[in-house]
Chain A
């Protein structure tokens, strides 16, 4: 499938990842990371075709209500309970260019902080009209939007009294497999953000703030739903001005 923006296909390698900006593997405050983090150094690999290519998903995979979590699991005529919100924003690359055709998948707990998952045992009840998953694809300008209810905070077994801030998980596909990213969106003004061991895996406060969606009053729909704006930045591509040893290809 061709790039929906009609730009030439992108073939450059990606900007190297700033691993001092991302959380490191070993973050003992988040206990599970201790046995699940590599101890040896990563082997650096400048992008080959295997890394700079990636699947691109067409809008044809989407159902009509895939980006409406208030209704996509609800019984006919009913809707999920909770604070109705719209989350919207743009997917950009590090060169501040829009990423059209990016697949976004998101998942979250319900208004009471309960996930619909068999391994979840939190005593807050399930909402029979809320599944908690959705997806969408960015348009030609890199824009996306979803409708949902604001998730509740929930306790988790890490420290004896650790609670996650309200958050929505985002999985993002750009145009190259090396851009693959999973992150979490937090909500402006939530005091829980700064107490969370998972948030604290990120070393730099400015990096944490990049994950905090702002209340977007201008886009709030009166008598319906408030809006939050959450932009996502994927790795940029190097210009292919002077590729190494092109004569060998």
Chain B
């Protein structure tokens, strides 16, 4: 026999289901008066530093049909590349930027939308700079465990080319699935859950 390690097991995930909005965006679900506003609805204010951008897109299933009941959360660094988190030890992030947003896909069109800022660069584990990116988490009916991906920017070609995470993708044909297409200050990022255009998802 050996000494027991004594670790617990993580609580197993279950799907968020079709009514995730009741809990996470109740005002969107039409449940008013419980919370003043939905958490994560606003990431920036008038004083937030950095370039304002909008990100829109859809989440598509294996037939190309948009999910009208998905919920996305994003997590990103501020314009200087600092996270607004107690685990950020490199400095203090912009207090006027939460770094975290939440949005349900529209019940009719399936579109999501975030109003945020372009993040700065953050170091990889070995200190090399990663390209500007936003972490994305997707839950919905039919998704048993939340899916993690990353959004990179089409106008950061040089940084993307040296990004250690993008570089770890063996099948180079899949790299573009993580690159949001920019048009001015607007970026478009569709997420394909399954099939030929399947987005790269991470086990983080």
Contacts and interface: CB of A to CB of B under 8 A. Distances in A.
B107 A119 contact: yes
Interface stretch (B10-18, B47-55, B182-190): B10-18
Most B CB contacts (10 A, CB to CB) among A1, A18, A182 go to A182
Contacts of A244: 125-126
A226 interface: no
B168 interface: yes
B147 to A, nearest CB: 7
A33 B14 contact: no
Interface residues of B, number: 85
Interface residues of A, number: 97
A132 B35 CA distance: 12
A184 B14 contact: yes
A50 B135 contact: yes
Contacts of B33: 73, 131
A105 interface: yes
B13 A38 contact: no
Contact of B62 (A36, A54, A206): A36
A131 to B, nearest CB: 5
A178 to B, nearest CB: 5
A163 interface: no
Contacts of B12: 21-23, 183, 202, 207-208, 210-211
Main secondary structure of the interface of A (DSSP, over half): loop
Given A53-B85, A116-B29, A117-B29, A45 B204 contact: yes
Contact of A55 (B26, B75, B201): B75
Given A36-B140, A107-B19, A171 B8 contact: no
Contacts of B169: 43
Given A17-B203, A52-B87, A118-B30, A211 B14 contact: yes
A54 B75 contact: yes
Contacts of B162: none
B86 interface: yes
Given A37-B143, A53-B87, A131-B26, A94 B9 contact: yes
Interface of B: 6-24, 26, 29-31, 33-36, 39, 61-63, 65, 67, 69, 73, 75-77, 83-89, 98-100, 107, 122-128, 130, 133, 135, 137, 139-148, 150, 165, 168-169, 174, 193-195, 198-204
Given A45-B204, A106-B23, A117-B19, 11 more contacts: A17-B10, A22-B10, A30-B144, A45-B202, A55-B100, A72-B34, A116-B30, A119-B18, A183-B12, A199-B14, A211-B14
